[in-house]
Amino acid sequence: MDVIIDGTNHLIENLVSWGYRQLDGRTSEISSVKPSDLIDSTADIYKISLDDKGLILENKISNSLELNTDKDILLFVFRNLIHNAIKFSFEGRIVIEHQETEEEHIFSVTDSGTGISPKVLKNINTNEILNSVKGTKGEKGSGLGIFLCRKFLNILNGNIIYESVESYGTKVKMVLKK
């Protein structure tokens, strides 16, 4: 129960922080960010949930990688993606990776959980607000996280892409322009 409350508190803090920036007329606050550190702090927040489900979170992002981006937005998206991977996974691994092209940074969160049905996958990739779906242990959600991730990433000229095979897991790619 404490993990749910703690995760909810972090979500609210991120939303309030972003909301204040929006009211001030600022849409992002760019600073030097180490994505690997954000993943590690997120893993700490969800440690009890990871342990409870027998999940191992593998952070394969180099400690030397630094981006000039909005830390709050990136942290919000990582937390949501990792939370969803935990929510819809059984025992196994959640792997976070990074690829770099000339134009983009691509972060992926891959799980071997329940996967997403083709109908729901289509709705996710067309940015519809979804009805909440219970996780593998009955975890509840609001259905807003994915929608908010897209909105926040739009501020950074980023995008989010879901790839999934029902019953085999999901890979979510967060794409940030350089």
According to DSSP, residue 4 is labeled H
Look at residue 6 and tell me whether its pLDDT is greater than 80: no
Lowest mean pLDDT among 17-31, 80-94, 137-151: 17-31
Q: How confident is the model at residue 29 (pLDDT cuts 50, 70, 90)?
A: confident
Give the residue-averaged pLDDT of 9-28: 59
Residue type present at position 61: I
Domain coordinates of the chain in residue numbers? 2-177
Q: How confident is the model at residue 176 (pLDDT cuts 50, 70, 90)?
A: very high
CATH no. for 2-177:
3.30.565.10
Q: CA 136, CA 66: separation in Å to the nearest integer?
A: 34
Provide DSSP, 50-83: HHHHTEEEEE-S-TT--EEEEHHHHHHHHHHHHH
Q: How confident is the model at residue 81 (pLDDT cuts 50, 70, 90)?
A: very high
Q: How confident is the model at residue 16 (pLDDT cuts 50, 70, 90)?
A: low
- C-beta separation of 166 from 124 below 8 A: no
CA angle, residues 5, 111, 53, in degrees to nearest 5: 50
The first and second tokens of residue 57, run together, are 């979170």
Give the residue-averaged pLDDT of 32-40: 98
What's residue 143's pLDDT? 72
Pairing of the two strands 55-59 and 92-100 = parallel
Q: How confident is the model at residue 105 (pLDDT cuts 50, 70, 90)?
A: very high
